[in-house]
Amino acid sequence: MSDPATPRADLRTGWESGRLSRVEELAITVLGRDRPGIVADVAGVLAGLGANLTDSTMTRLRGHFAMTLVCTGPDAADVEAALNPVAVRGRLLATVRAVGPEESTEPTGEPYVLSVHGADRLGIVAEVTRVVADAGGNITDLTTRLAGPLYVLVAEVELPPGTAESTERRLTEVATGLGVDVVLRRAESDVL
């Protein structure tokens, strides 16, 4: 049982014992050689500071670990200082930046999944994503993998209403020039 005289924080609102404490929205990146425990170490530091993890993505890229997350918590400098020992010990690069709150969390267009696969060659990502950008589309998630000679790109994109057909035609033209296959399909609704 906690002592009623001890200040308690509500991580969602920033209220601490009846007064509003300073809460910033922070963007944090962590990069380095993959090893067990990176997520636990970083999450432990953030929880210890009273930071609330709101969005995150973490992945391993050819033996390197990459984490990007957004949280609400104390001052960016305090979070960066607290992460420094973990970064030094784990030979990681950790950055922390204060960011403004999102203006809108609503999608800006219709959701699609874009898949590209074929022989690896220079320029696939640049040319395919240029088509999406030229259509006024927004890439919300993109993953690429090289498996032997096969290159695979999967992207979640938002396209302005009524532009999917013309975007698909242009993607097919670009894919033919690159010697790869492309599929643009309407995205299914997911929880995440």
Asked if residue 22 has pLDDT above 90, the reply is no
- The residue among 69, 99, 129 that closes a domain is 99
User: pLDDT of 92-122, one tens digit each?
Assistant: 999 999 997 665 556 679 999 999 999 999 9
Domain count, the chain: 2
User: pLDDT of 28-44, one tens digit each?
Assistant: 999 999 999 999 999 99
Burial class for 154, CB neighbours closer than 10 Å (0-12, 13-18, 19+): middle
User: pLDDT of 84-97, one tens digit each?
Assistant: 999 999 999 999 99
Phi, psi of 31 (to 5 degrees): -135, 145
Both 128 and 179 in a single domain? yes
Both 27 and 84 in a single domain? yes
β-pair partners for 28: 69, 96
Q: Can you give the pLDDT at residue 108?
A: 75
Both 119 and 158 in a single domain? yes
| Helix %, strand %, coil % of the chain (to 5) | 30, 40, 30
Q: Within a domain: residue 178? A: yes
CATH of the domain at 139: 3.30.70.260
Q: Within a domain: residue 1? A: no
- The residue among 99, 133, 156 that closes a domain is 99
Cβ distance 149 to 120 under 8 Å? yes
Q: Give the mean model confidence (pLDDT) for residues 161-190.
A: 95
Distance between CA 31 and CA 34 in Å, rounded?
A: 9
**More confident position, 105 or 184:** 184
CB atoms within 10 A of CB 83: 21
Burial class for 100, CB neighbours closer than 10 Å (0-12, 13-18, 19+): exposed
Both 93 and 114 in a single domain? no
User: pLDDT of 54-89, one tens digit each?
Assistant: 999 999 999 999 999 999 989 999 999 999 999 999
* Residue 79 belongs to domain spanning: 20-99
